[in-house]
C-alpha cells in the first residue's frame, strides 16, 4: 500500500512538473513599423517579457497604418481575434466595441490596478461601447503644428497667429523652394485626422457632428462644406502643396527637417520622430535645436470660425484582451500578466522617453528631450478639444472623406462633391446598420 502510494505521488509530481513546463501561447497583434519612433525600444520591451516569462510564448504579428486596421477587421469578422491586440477607443475600431469582442478590463484588472491611471483613461464613457474594452495609454492631440521658428525668423516672419499670416509667407518662401505647411497625405488618413478634424471643430463644432449622427443635420449643410473649403483654399492659396498628397506618411519628417517646409502638421505622437534614436545615437533634430529653433503651435485662427482655438483630441490607443479567452484560464492569466507589463511604470517610462506619448499612467518619470518636454505644455496652453472625425464615424464613412480630401488636394474634386459623397456614404452605412 505504501509502495503504491509512493509510486502514485511520484507520478503526480512528474506530471505536475510536465504541466508546469508547458507553455501558454499568446497571439499578439502589435501596431508598429521599423521607421517609427521607439521601434528598437519596442522590440526590446517584447524581448524582455519573453525572457522573464519562459512559460509564456508570444506569437507576435506586426502591422501598421491601414494594413493593421484591415487585418483587425478580418480577424474580428472571422472570429479569430488575437489574444492581445492594439485598439482604438472609438469608431476606428468600431467592430471591437460594438460586438464586445474585448474583455471588460474594469472587471478583469480591478480598481487597485486601474487607480494608477488618470480618470479620463478609465472612464468607460470615453469609449464607443461604453465599457472599458481597452486602456488608453495617452490622451492624444491629433493636430499639432511643428514650427521651424528659426527658418521663419531667418526669412523675416513671426510665428503665425492667423490664416492671413500663413498667406503672407507663401511668396517669399516659395521663391526659395520652401513650402509654408507640409502634411503628407498619400496614406489618406493624415489630412482628415490631423487637420480637417480641427477645422471642422472650429467651423462647425461638436454639436454639428452630434446633429449629423442624430439625423438632424447633413454633410451637405453649409458648416461642413465651409470646412472643406478651408482645406481647398490652403492648396489654392499656395500654403500647402498639392504634391504632398503623393508623399507617404513616413517620408514627411525627413523632408521637414531638410528645410522643405516651415511648418509640419501631425499628431502629438510625431514628436518622437525628431528626437535621438537610441540605436543610432542620431536625431533628426539635435536636442539643442529642439530647444531653441522649434516650437509646437495650434493651427492659426480661421476666417469664419465659430469655436476659436479648439484642436482635435481623443482618448489614445491602447491594448485589449480578447473576450473569447475562457475566464479564469491559464491563457487569461498570461494575457493579464502581459497586459500589466505593457502598462507598467517601467514600460510606460520607456514609451514616454521615446516621445511616443505622454502616459495616462500617473507619476511616470522619464528623461525626455526638449521637443517631447514641450508636448505637456502644448496641452496646457490649448485645453479646448473637439472630435476627431474617424473617432466618431464608421470606416465606411471616414474612408470616403479621406479619399475626398485627397481629391480636393489634387484639385480633382470640389468641396460640394466631396460633401455629397460623404453624405451618401453615411446614409448607406446608417441603413445597413439598422
- Burial track 71-95 (b if 16+ CB lie within 10 A, e otherwise): ebeebbeeeebbbbbbbbbbbbbbb
Question: In whole angstroms, how far apart are CA 244 and each of 175, 262, 409?
Answer: 18, 14, 8
Q: Does domain 25-136+317-356 have CATH number 3.40.190.10?
A: yes
Q: State how far the Cα of 233 lies from the Cα of 225, in Å rounded to an integer.
A: 12
Q: Where do you find CATH 3.40.190.10 in the chain? A: 25-136+317-356, 141-312+377-432
Pairwise CA distance, residues 27 & 130, whole Å: 26
- pLDDT at residue number 100: 98
Task: Please answer whether residues 199 and 303 qualify as being in contact, where contact means their C-beta atoms are separated by less than 8 angstroms.
Answer: no
Q: What is the pLDDT of residue 48?
A: 98
3-state secondary structure the chain: CHHHHHHHHHHHHHHHHHHHHCCEEEEEEEECCCCCCCHHHHHHHHHHHHHHCCCEEEEEEEECHHHHHHHHHHHHHHCCCCCEEEECCCHHHHHHHHCCCECCHHHHHCHHHHCCECHHHHCHHHCCCCCCCCEECEEEECCEEEEEHHHHHHCCCCCCCEHHHHHHHHHHHHHCCCEEEECCCCCCHHHHHHHHHHHHHHHCCHHHHHHHHCCCCCCCCHHHHHHHHHHHHHHHCCCECHHHHHCCHHHHHHHHHHHHEEEEEECHHHHHHCCEECCCCEECCCHHHHHHHEEEECCCECCCCCCCCCEEEEECCEEEEECCCCCCCHHHHHHHHHHHHHCCHHHHHHHHHCCCCCECECCCCCCCCHHHHHHHHHHHHCCCEECCHHHHCCHHHHHHHHHHHHHHHHCCCCHHHHHHHHHHHHHHHHHHCC
The model's pTM: 0.84
Per-residue pLDDT 10s for the chain (434 aa) are 555 444 444 545 544 544 455 799 999 999 998 887 788 999 999 999 999 999 999 999 999 988 999 999 999 999 999 999 999 998 889 999 999 999 999 999 999 999 999 988 999 988 999 999 999 999 999 999 999 999 999 999 999 999 999 999 999 999 999 999 999 999 999 999 999 999 999 999 999 999 999 999 999 999 999 999 999 999 999 999 999 999 999 999 999 999 999 999 999 999 999 999 877 889 999 999 999 999 999 999 999 999 999 999 999 999 999 999 999 999 999 999 999 999 999 999 999 999 889 999 999 999 999 999 999 999 989 999 999 999 999 999 999 999 999 999 999 999 999 999 999 999 999 999 87
Task: Please tell me the predicted confidence (pLDDT) of residue 337.
Answer: 98
* Largest interatomic CA distance in the chain: 99
pLDDT at position 26, please? 99
Burial class of residue 246 (count of CB atoms within 10 Å of its CB; 0-12, 13-18, 19+): middle
Inter-residue contact 309 to 381 (CB < 8 Å):
no
Report d(CA 84, CA 102) in Å as an integer.
9
The predicted structure's pLDDT at residue 7: 45
Instruction: Please name every residue paired with 361 in a beta bridge, in sequence order, or none if there are none.
Output: 117
CA 80 to chain centre: 24
Angle at CA 56, nearest 5°, toward 74 and 317? Answer: 45
| Fold annotation for 141-312+377-432 | D-Maltodextrin-Binding Protein; domain 2 (3.40.190)
Amino acid at each position: 500500500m505504501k509502495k503504491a502510494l509512493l509510486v502514485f505521488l511520484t507520478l503526480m509530481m512528474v506530471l505536475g512538473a510536465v504541466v508546469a513546463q508547458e507553455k501558454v501561447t499568446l497571439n499578439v497583434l502589435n501596431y508598429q513599423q521599423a521607421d517609427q519612433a521607439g521601434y528598437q525600444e519596442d522590440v526590446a520591451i517584447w524581448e524582455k517579457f519573453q525572457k522573464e516569462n519562459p512559460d509564456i510564448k508570444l506569437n507576435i504579428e506586426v502591422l501598421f497604418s491601414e494594413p493593421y486596421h484591415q487585418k483587425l477587421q478580418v480577424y474580428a469578422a472571422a472570429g479569430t481575434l488575437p489574444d492581445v491586440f492594439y485598439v482604438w477607443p472609438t469608431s476606428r475600431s468600431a467592430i471591437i466595441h460594438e460586438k464586445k469582442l474585448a474583455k471588460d478590463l474594469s472587471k478583469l484588472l480591478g480598481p487597485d490596478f486601474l487607480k494608477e491611471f488618470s480618470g479620463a483613461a478609465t472612464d468607460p464613457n470615453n469609449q464607443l461601447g461604453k465599457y472599458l474594452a481597452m486602456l488608453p495609454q495617452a490622451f492624444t492631440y491629433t493636430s499639432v503644428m511643428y514650427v521651424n521658428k528659426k527658418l521663419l525668423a531667418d526669412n523675416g516672419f513671426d510665428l503665425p497667429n492667423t490664416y492671413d499670416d500663413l498667406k503672407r509667407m507663401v511668396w517669399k518662401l516659395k521663391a526659395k523652394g520652401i513650402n509654408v505647411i507640409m502634411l503628407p497625405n498619400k496614406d489618406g488618413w493624415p489630412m482628415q485626422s490631423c487637420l480637417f478634424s480641427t477645422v471642422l471643430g472650429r467651423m462647425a463644432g461638436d454639436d454639428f457632428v452630434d446633429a449629423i449622427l442624430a439625423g438632424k443635420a447633413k454633410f451637405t449643410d453649409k458648416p461642413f462644406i465651409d470646412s472643406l473649403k478651408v482645406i481647398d483654399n490652403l492648396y489654392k492659396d499656395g500654403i500647402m502643396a498639392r504634391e504632398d498628397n503623393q508623399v507617404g506618411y513616413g517620408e514627411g519628417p525627413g523632408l521637414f527637417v531638410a528645410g522643405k517646409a516651415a511648418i509640419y502638421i501631425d499628431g502629438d505622437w510625431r514628436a518622437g520622430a525628431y528626437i535621438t534614436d537610441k540605436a543610432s545615437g542620431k536625431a533628426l533634430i539635435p536636442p539643442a535645436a529642439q530647444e531653441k529653433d522649434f516650437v509646437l503651435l495650434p493651427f492659426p485662427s480661421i476666417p469664419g470660425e465659430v469655436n476659436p482655438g479648439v484642436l482635435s483630441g481623443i482618448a489614445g490607443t491602447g491594448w485589449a484582451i480578447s473576450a473569447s479567452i475562457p475566464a479564469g484560464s491559464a491563457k487569461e492569466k498570461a494575457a493579464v500578466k502581459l497586459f500589466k507589463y505593457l502598462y507598467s511604470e517601467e514600460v510606460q517610462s520607456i514609451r514616454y522617453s521615446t516621445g511616443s506619448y505622454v502616459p495616462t499612467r500617473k507619476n511616470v518619470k522619464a528623461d525626455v528631450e526638449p521637443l517631447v518636454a514641450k508636448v505637456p505644455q502644448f496641452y496646457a496652453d490649448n485645453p479646448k478639444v473637439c472630435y476627431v472625425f474617424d473617432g466618431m464615424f464608421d470606416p465606411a464613412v471616414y474612408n470616403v472623406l479621406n479619399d475626398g480630401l485627397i481629391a480636393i488636394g489634387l484639385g480633382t474634386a470640389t468641396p460640394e462633391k466631396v460633401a455629397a459623397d460623404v453624405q451618401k456614404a453615411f446614409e448607406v452605412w446608417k441603413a445597413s446598420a439598422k
